[in-house]
A and B are shown apart, each in its own frame.
Chain A
């Protein structure tokens, strides 16, 4: 597609429920990233996929969070047993070049998750 697409754009869920957030990166982009942005805060790195390599999961805050990337394209971020502190905007980004000259990652418009 022309840009990074995320769905849903908004999600309200009850505490304790599981949620799935989807990211469709720019076609051909080999790297995909998930970030979290709490209200009024900066971006917190969650997880990074690069090609067929093992993902960098170092930013996942707990074992309730997991992500996968199927076929090197679409990615799904899953949050199990959601808590109120999980409420945030979840941003996905993709990039073509890893390392070397880099002209910026392309971000999606995010999924606003509200846990009630």
Chain B
């Protein structure tokens, strides 16, 4: 069965430091997509970054990068130069054939000033 695991319920990071949020996944399908979403306290789900299973390079979007290690089935999110506005819940998700997303339980990130 497809499954996403986020082992860090909560993380703290000092402002301007980098932080890594862990995500591992389980699937036997060779074709899949991996996503990260941010959910601030307002509740909206904000798409951050996408990595396809056949992509050769790690995805990057501004201060966000995805450390994709296919053999280890991990897709960690790295946020560089953390800002106070990065405090939120972060979800890792996986899609198979684009039909639906399976979400992890999430990690709460708190950025300290």
Interface of A toward B, CB cutoff 8 Å: 31, 33, 35, 41-45, 48, 50, 56, 59, 89, 91, 93, 95, 97-107, 109-110, 112
- Interface-facing stretch out of B67-75, B80-88, B95-103: B95-103
Query: How many B residues touch A, CB cutoff 8 Å?
Result: 23
The answer to whether B102 and A102 touch across the interface, beta carbons within 8 angstroms, is no
The answer to whether B98 and A42 touch across the interface, beta carbons within 8 angstroms, is no
Residues of A within 8 A of B105 (CB): 41-42
**One of A45, A50, A112 near B101 (C-beta < 8 A):** A45
Chain A nearest CB: distance from B86 CB in Å? 18
Instruction: Considering the complex, give the chain B residue whose CB is closest to the CB of A91.
Output: B45
Q: Once the chains are docked, how many angstroms separate the CA of A112 from the CA of B44? A: 12
The answer to whether B106 and A42 touch across the interface, beta carbons within 8 angstroms, is yes
Q: Interface digits, B59-72 against A, CB 8 Å rule (1 contact, 0 not)? A: 00000000000000
The answer to whether B97 and A105 touch across the interface, beta carbons within 8 angstroms, is no
- Interface residue ranges of B91-113 to A (CB < 8 Å): 91, 93, 95, 97-106
**One of A41, A104, A112 near B50 (C-beta < 8 A):** A104
The answer to whether B52 and A107 touch across the interface, beta carbons within 8 angstroms, is no
**One of A95, A99, A107, A112 near B45 (C-beta < 8 A):** A107
Q: Once the chains are docked, how many angstroms separate the CA of A95 from the CA of B35? A: 14
**One of B42, B43, B101, B106 near A105 (C-beta < 8 A):** B101
- A-B residue pairs, 10 tightest by C-beta: A104-B47, A107-B45, A99-B98, A98-B98, A43-B103, A42-B103, A42-B105, A48-B100, A45-B100, A99-B97
Of the candidates B50, B97, B100, the one having the most CB atoms from chain A within 10 angstroms of its own CB is B100
Instruction: Considering the complex, give the chain B residue whose CB is closest to the CB of A107.
Output: B45
Chain B nearest CB: distance from A23 CB in Å? 14
Q: Once the chains are docked, how many angstroms separate the CA of A56 from the CA of B102? A: 14
Q: Once the chains are docked, how many angstroms separate the CA of A44 from the CA of B105? A: 10
The answer to whether B43 and A102 touch across the interface, beta carbons within 8 angstroms, is no
Q: Once the chains are docked, how many angstroms separate the CA of A44 from the CA of B35? A: 16
